[in-house]
Amino acid sequence: MTKKFLIAGAFVLLSAFSLQAQTKLSIDKVYSTYLRNSGTIMENKQIKGYFFLYISDKIDKHTNEYTLQILDENLNKVRDIKFQDSKKLSLLEAAYNGNSLAFLFKNGDNKTLDMKVYDIDGKLKFTYSTEYDKKTDDLMKRYETLNTDEGTNQNVYDLGEKGYASVLPLRDGKQRTYEVDYYSSQEKKQWTYTPDDDEERYASAEFLGSTDSLIILEVMKKSRRLSGKPSAHLIGINFITKKKVFDIDNEEDEYTFVSSGVEPVKGTNKIMVFGSYFKKGDNIVKDNSQGLAVYGIDSKGKVLNKIYNSWAEDFSKYLPTNRKGKIDNIGYLYIHKVIQMPGGKMFVVGEGYKRQASAGGIALNVLGALGGVRPGVGVTKIVTTDMVMMEFNDKYKITNATIYDKTNNTVVSSSMSDDYSQHAIALYLKMTGAFDYEFTTGDTDNSNFAVCYSDWVRSSEYKGQTFNAIRYNGNKFTTDKIELKSKASRLKVFPAKAG
């Protein structure tokens, strides 16, 4: 039995600063689709179109027909790409780099990861295939959520017009490490980087960003598999020369720095790295951070400057923050986006999350204790709280912060909410797409922008999902909200073109 689904984009009008609904588009003859099999096509931060991958036919018990549909920014269909493949085919992730689309598929029959690169007109340019074994597949399942709508990009990233990179967990004997794969979109060329340092036998990597020649990773290393105290490293790999360029480990620094994002500074050879910093000797997985830091480095990994903003002294001027980095009624902050402005200042978008007592979880645990069984429900739960917009000057010191209220939405109610540290929980929330932050859109120079997020409202006037925008016009912030009342079981809003 086939079905259909509707697409409706929400226009963020950066000139008029208002929200309006766009005409709906209906796609028929859909056997199966998942929200993570869809996304936006962006170029220089501007919307150029959308893609949707869905099962369009059942060929036999082993084979499906798949359709990849590409739309332009006005939701006009550009091309349908149909192909037949294994029933055990799943799209892990997709990316766009300005002149091509890349899709990473997992083929359960062939036990391969297949990267397919298409041009913008839908013509297949290159196919790259690599085998995976059962052990590595087990590790990959920590990063993927097959056949569900949960999850955000964790493995595939665009590197500008030159191509794409994937960062995957790797199991080699008793080692737990990672590999970086580069896929060219300009010619048929692919290579794999695997760490060969002895201390990287037990390591995990997260993609932070890229420049015109560098892939930049945050790598957590442990000397022993069961060691609970990893060290943080900022690693740069040149995807032209295929060599590691730098490994910054903070061993000689006053603090331990754990980076969470990078941003090349336009018109310079400088890279801005931002993240949390800890007391020397603290466990970066379990202990509380001291605040947020910004490092300036060059393309060779030389640290040019370090700026620290502490919770106790700097942030407390603008937010009710204690020394553990916890904000009253908000909890801990997760940083989603750094927005560089013309002139040097920047805005940082954060979202709060915290533990709360779970009445239902406590009751179930009491009943479980009486019966001698521990349920998989925690006595606490994790909720996402408010959005926080922070302003920093051109010296990267905080100068203002504003809290934007939203509903405390429960995102984790399992036993992990009792046992995991706030940092591990934040990574889990990011990986599963549990935060309410959606996306940021705006002008290419960020002189105007809108930060968008979802919320669930439970008031006497309205109960349901809302879509919210925090808009900046170059001088001041305003907010807007639309109600998304719908009979659909799931609803997702994509960014749309401005104007």
Task: State residue 149's pLDDT score.
Answer: 42
Indicate the average pLDDT of the chain.
80
CA distances from 277 to 260, 309, 339, 422 (A): 11, 9, 20, 14
E runs forming strands in 173-310? 175-184, 190-193, 202-210, 214-222, 231-238, 243-248, 255-264, 270-279, 291-298, 303-310
CA distance 442 to 12: 9
- Which CA distances in Å does 355 have to 196, 329, 368, 428, 433? 39, 11, 22, 14, 18
So what's the pLDDT on residue 359? Answer: 46
Nearest to 22 by CA among 11, 34, 6: 11
CA 492-493-495 angle, 5° bins:
145
Give the residue-averaged pLDDT of 422-440.
Answer: 79
Rounded Cα distance between 104 and 159, Å, is 15
For 297, other C-beta atoms within 10 Å of its C-beta total: 23
Query: What does the alpha-carbon distance between residue 140 and residue 130 come to, in Å, rounded to a whole number?
Result: 14
Q: Rounded to two decimals, what is the model's pTM?
A: 0.80
For residue 139, the model assigns a pLDDT of: 61
- The answer to whether residue 147 scores a pLDDT higher than 90 is no
pLDDT band at 364 (very low <50, low <70, confident <90, very high): very low
Strand partners, 165: 157, 182
- Is the Cβ–Cβ distance between 212 and 160 less than 8 Å? yes
Q: Which residues pair with 464 in a beta bridge?
A: 457
Report the pLDDT averaged over residues 12-35.
53
Cβ-based neighbours of 299, under 8 Å, separated by 6 or more: 211, 213, 214, 236, 245, 269, 271
User: Would you say residue 104 has pLDDT above 60?
Assistant: yes
Per-residue pLDDT averaged across 100-129, rounded?
A: 87
How are the residues of the chain apportioned to helix, strand and coil, as percentages rounded to the nearest 5? Answer: 10, 55, 35
Residue 497 near residue 156 (C-beta atoms within 8 A): no
Specify the range with the lowest mean pLDDT, choosing from 116-120, 121-125, 138-142: 138-142
Query: Which has the closest alpha carbon to 409: 424, 431, 387, 389?
Result: 387
Contact 387, 406 (CB under 8 A): yes
Name residue, tokens 């990316």.
Answer: 95
Q: Nearest to residue 336, comparing CAs of 424, 256, 410, 435?
A: 435
φ/ψ (deg, to 5) at 222: -130, 140
Nearest of 95, 205, 236 to residue 159 by alpha carbon: 95
Q: Where do the structural domains in the chain lie, given as residue ranges?
A: 331-435
Per-residue pLDDT tens digits for 241-278: 999 999 998 777 889 998 888 888 877 889 999 988 99
Can you give the C-alpha Rg of the chain in angstroms? Answer: 23
**Residue 329: how many CA atoms within 13 Å on its side-chain side?**
10
Name the pairing type of β-strands 463-472 and 156-158. unpaired
pLDDT tens per residue across span 160-197? 888 999 888 877 677 788 889 999 999 999 999 988 77
Give the closest residue to 243 by CA, choosing from 193, 201, 292, 206: 193
Residue that is written with structure tokens 């910054």 in the block:
248
Q: Go through 445-476 and write b for each residue having 16 or more CB atoms within 10 A of its CB, e for each that does not.
A: ebebbbbbbbbebeeeeeeebbbbbbbbeeee
List, in sequence order, every residue forming a beta bridge with 124; answer none if it has no partner. Answer: 118
Ranking 139-153, 256-270, 321-335 by mean pLDDT, the lowest is: 139-153
Helix (H, G, I), strand (E, B) or coil at 252: coil
Residue 295 burial (CB < 10 Å; 0-12/13-18/19+)?
Answer: buried
Q: Comparing 34 with 219, which gets the higher pLDDT?
A: 219
Helix (H) or strand (E) segment spanning residue 92 = strand 89-96
Which among 121-130, 293-302, 456-465 has the top mean pLDDT? 293-302
Confidence of residue 38 (pLDDT cuts 50, 70, 90): confident
